[in-house]
Chain A
Amino acid sequence: MRDSERSAEFVAFVRAHRADLVRTAVLLCAGDEAYAEDLVQTTLTRLYLSWSKVRRADSSLAYSRRCLTNVFIDEARRAHRRRETSVAVPMDALGRDPAGASPDLDLRALVLNALSSLAPRQRAVVVLRHWHDLDVDETARILGCRAGTVKSQNARALAHLREFLATADHQLDLEVS
């Protein structure tokens, strides 16, 4: 494949899917938008380097989400990670009901705070299973673990979210599918 062809396809892919990757990364990073942007940039670079695999994939978006999750897990493995954390919504908005605040803003702060209380792999399971609607087997394939591990991580994550949200005096409909 010529470089110009790869570049043209890459640009079209970025235009079409970057926003999706950023939103996924924001969830994986529990609202740390700078960290999410780093992950997306790293992911896009890796995709470009292996562009033939993106072309061969049944779904380039699904492949890129898989790559993004791997980048996130790699990052989560970093020992003694020190990072300045910035979040889109102040965490202290949690549980408050300031006059005039948007209900979605409250909900966003609440959910991001709840996600931040999960271990990285559990967070990835929640995002893949409950936002991207992937089944257990596909989630296991992306995370490089067994289906049983995904099920147990998912159950633990939902239990933790329930507990977390209960202490925040909210109740989220957490159905295990």
Chain B
Amino acid sequence: MTPLPDLKHALDVAAGDEPRPSDPSADLDRAQAAVRARSRRRFRLGVSTLATAALVGAASVVVLDGSPTSPPSAAAAEVQLVDQQFDAEPYTFDLTPEGWSVQAQMPSAVTIAPDDGSTSDEPHDFQGKLVILFDSNPLTGREVEHDGRRFWVTENPGHTIISTRTVDGEPTGVVRIQYPHDAGWEESSMIEFLASVHVGPGAQHGLG
């Protein structure tokens, strides 16, 4: 048997030689383009939120006319979930993220992207998107309870993953949502959205 050096040295060799210094301008261009795309998305969200707030405000005037104790609207600078079902076989959802649409559906994942075209057309590129994942990996992170169901929240640079076990009658496993930090979503909304996901019998565990 041929002896080899220790693992650290072997990994150092496997990592290859130091790449030649590259011009950072290409990286900077890509990053600045991403900032511009995010700004456009935020602007559109802001316009949408203002319009919603204006509508809610107008409605409040009408309601307040006869009910001065009505609570203030919760219309905040966050994206809205609306009470509307949609299917992304084998998953179904009781809530719909307004202004977002299913980009890809697979047995182990659903990708949901904003309608403003600010994210990649590549469904496997999750950046800036909502992603529903189904797997059998362990549950880790901060525990949160919502409507008697437990959720686990893991924050990462740029995105957060919330996970929960599937419920009785669904395939056994863990269903997760990954959401970006810069798209206006709040943790509470995402827990609510994840709680609305029903995992159908055709779902299959993905990698993780």
Residues of chain A touching chain B, judged by Cβ–Cβ distance below 8 Å, are 7, 10-11, 14-15, 18-19, 22-24, 26-27, 31, 33, 41-42, 44-50, 53, 63, 66-67, 70, 73-81, 88, 104, 107-108, 110-112, 115, 119-121, 126-127, 130-131, 133, 144-146, 149, 161, 165-166, 169-175
Q: Give CA–CA (A173, B7) in the complex, Å.
A: 6
CB-contact partner of B158 in A33, A67, A80, under 8 A? A67
Give the interface centre of B1, B27, B28, B157 by most chain A CB atoms within 10 Å. B157
Inter-subunit contact B158/A49 (CB<8 Å): yes
Residues of chain A lying within 8 A (CB to CB) of residue B27: 10, 14, 18, 41, 44-45
- Assuming the contacts A44-B31, A45-B34, A63-B157, asked whether A19 and B11 have C-beta atoms less than 8 A apart, the reply is no
Kindly state whether residue B38 has any CB partner on chain A within 8 Å.
yes
Kindly state whether residue B109 has any CB partner on chain A within 8 Å.
yes
User: What's the dominant secondary structure at chain B's contact region?
Assistant: mixed
- Residues of B58-77 whose CB lies within 8 A of A: none
Interface footprint category on B: 35 or more
Residues of chain B touching chain A, judged by Cβ–Cβ distance below 8 Å, are 1-8, 10-16, 18-19, 21-22, 24-25, 27-28, 30-32, 34-35, 38, 106-109, 124, 126-127, 133, 135, 138, 140-141, 154, 156-159, 161, 178, 181-182, 206-208
Residues of chain A lying within 8 A (CB to CB) of residue B141: 144
Give the interface centre of A46, A63, A171 by most chain B CB atoms within 10 Å. A46
Inter-subunit contact A120/B6 (CB<8 Å): no
**Nearest A residue to B31, CB-CB:** A48
Residues of chain B lying within 8 A (CB to CB) of residue A145: 138, 140
Inter-subunit contact B127/A46 (CB<8 Å): yes
Inter-subunit contact B161/A144 (CB<8 Å): yes
Q: Give CA–CA (A80, B19) in the complex, Å.
A: 31
Residues of chain B lying within 8 A (CB to CB) of residue A19: 18-19, 21
Residues of chain A lying within 8 A (CB to CB) of residue B158: 46, 49-50, 67, 70
Residues of chain A lying within 8 A (CB to CB) of residue B135: 77
7 tightest A-B CB contacts, nearest first: A48-B31, A111-B14, A14-B24, A23-B15, A79-B108, A131-B11, A173-B6
- Tell me, rounded to whole Å, the shortest Cβ–Cβ distance linking A151 to chain B: 13
- Tell me, rounded to whole Å, the shortest Cβ–Cβ distance linking B22 to chain A: 7
